[in-house]
Amino acid sequence: MKKALIITYYWPPSGGSGVQRWVKFTKYLPAYGWKPIIYTPENPELIAVDHTLEDDIPAYTTVIKRPIFEPYGIYRRLLGGKDAAEGGSNEVNPVNSKKKTFMQRLSMFVRGNFFIPDPRCLWIMPSVMYLKRYLKEHPVDIIVSTGPPHSMHLIARRLAKATGTPWIADFRDPWTKMFYFKHLSLTKWTEKRHARLEQKVLDEASAIVAVSPLVKKEFEEMTSTRVELITNGYDESDFDDAVVEADGYFNITHTGLFAADGNPTELWRVLSEKCGKDPEFRKMLRIRLAGKTDKEVISSIEEAGLAEHLRDNGYQPHTVAIKEQKCASLLILPLRKEPEYKATIPGKLFEYLASGNPVLGIGQTDGAMAMTVNSAMAGKVFDWDDSDSIAAYIDECWQRFKSGDTDPQTTGIAKYSRKELTARMAELMDSLLMKNIH
């Protein structure tokens, strides 16, 4: 069986969407003749903990864990955050344009300018030294790095140079075009340093993988390296295994991270007004949150007079999040209010599609998320301030709920199944291996 070295910072028991992508690839790659060998930190910063994801990892998978030293714990403390064991942070994404204390601004400056490309950079050289020795005794056919954190790409770059092994750089998110990049308080020198490193990765990798068509286009404009689109997706077995029973309520559900800069205030206002006009709707409405949610979002819901309808369940294992999606009457997906988010497709969207339930997206109506929702006929996407259209769509979904219409709303989503996506990744690996042989 061919072997692939996968360099990833995120791996179970760490939870979240950044983990799921390569856990699912690892689950299905052996069926296509590839054995993944995972290289990951022994003591990473845990944003969330989800032991259920470990069930997807084949028992014979080789997982190499090595210690990492990173200043992230100190940085997090200065920002006032907590790790997963302490219940997580009240602020989903502290790297944004909101007002901060002097210590928070200082720590942000240090993080952005002293640790390039990210606080995991101190793991680059120890990893390269260890993996060079490991690969001499255990050669592999291909190297894959997945980022962010983009330090993983820099480890792979050095290994590929040293061994001549083909290398795939898998970008789950962009680098310098990521929304938070402009909030890192970078000096001009640091910005140029990031840009140079990004360009080296794009130019020197054997292939680049993007998860959004707009990000793919951006990369193609930056490099002549082959760029492939392999999106995130859904695992059919997750949905087949999720047995749920309707609770009789009109559940408006959000799963995953819910950040303050994506707080859909117009949605809360629309729901509040409808509760005031429709007693039956007020009785049946539930707003269900399953994931890490910013305190500002919770406060906004309460201020809209919707506290009695809120069920904030906090971070949940992936298996529970799937059940929440399947039980939803309407799934909401507000994007962050950042222009860079036009190119982003949140990973949860594909599982939303697999649930068969209608999706209410809020964000750029010409962005990548809207393109995906529209092509799957899965729902509608509106601008953040388009309250009239949001209200009309909620009315439509409410009437559908009252009529008992539970037929799936989506079409043409098989291309997003994890098996299909893994087949495409294996095909890319095979093509690079053949090219390297010849």
Q: Where in the chain is the domain with CATH 3.40.50.2000?
A: 2-233+417-437, 236-414
What is the pLDDT averaged over residues 220-231? 98
User: 227-269: per-residue pLDDT in tens?
Assistant: 999 999 999 999 887 777 778 999 999 999 999 989 999 999 9
Rounded Cα distance, 162 and 88, in Å: 39
Q: What is the pLDDT of residue 79?
A: 53
Residue 10 has pLDDT above 60, yes or no: yes
Rounded Cα distance, 324 and 409, in Å: 17
Q: What is the pLDDT of residue 110?
A: 75
Domain 2-233+417-437, CATH among 2.60.120.260, 3.30.1490.100, 3.40.605.10, 3.40.50.2000: 3.40.50.2000
- Six-digit token pair at 261? 């800069």
User: 39-90: per-residue pLDDT in tens?
Assistant: 999 999 888 899 999 999 999 899 999 999 877 666 555 555 555 444 444 4
Residue 98 has pLDDT above 70, yes or no: no
- What mean pLDDT value characterizes the chain? 91
Contact 183, 96 (CB under 8 A): yes
How far apart, in Å, do the first and last CA atoms of the chain sit?
Answer: 19
Q: Which residue has the tokens 């000096």?
A: 187
Amino acid identity, residue 301?
I
Q: What is the pLDDT of residue 81?
A: 53
Residue 140 has pLDDT above 80, yes or no: yes
Residue 348 has pLDDT above 70, yes or no: yes
Q: What is the pLDDT of residue 361?
A: 97
Q: What is the pLDDT of residue 111?
A: 75
Rounded Cα distance, 352 and 366, in Å: 19
Rounded Cα distance, 430 and 323, in Å: 36
User: 303-334: per-residue pLDDT in tens?
Assistant: 999 999 999 999 999 999 999 999 999 999 99
Task: List, in sequence order, every residue forming a beta bridge with 379; answer none if it has no partner.
Answer: 359
- Six-digit token pair at 436? 């390297």
Please state whether the predicted TM-score (pTM) of the whole model is above 0.85.
Answer: yes
Amino acid identity, residue 305?
G
Q: Which CATH architecture has domain 236-414?
A: 3-Layer(aba) Sandwich (3.40)
Rounded Cα distance, 393 and 362, in Å: 12
Least confident residue range of 114-118, 122-126, 131-135? 114-118
What is the number of alpha carbons within 13 Å of residue 345 lying toward its C-beta?
28
pLDDT exceeding 90 applies to what percent of the chain?
76
How does residue 164 score in pLDDT terms, banded at 50, 70 and 90? very high
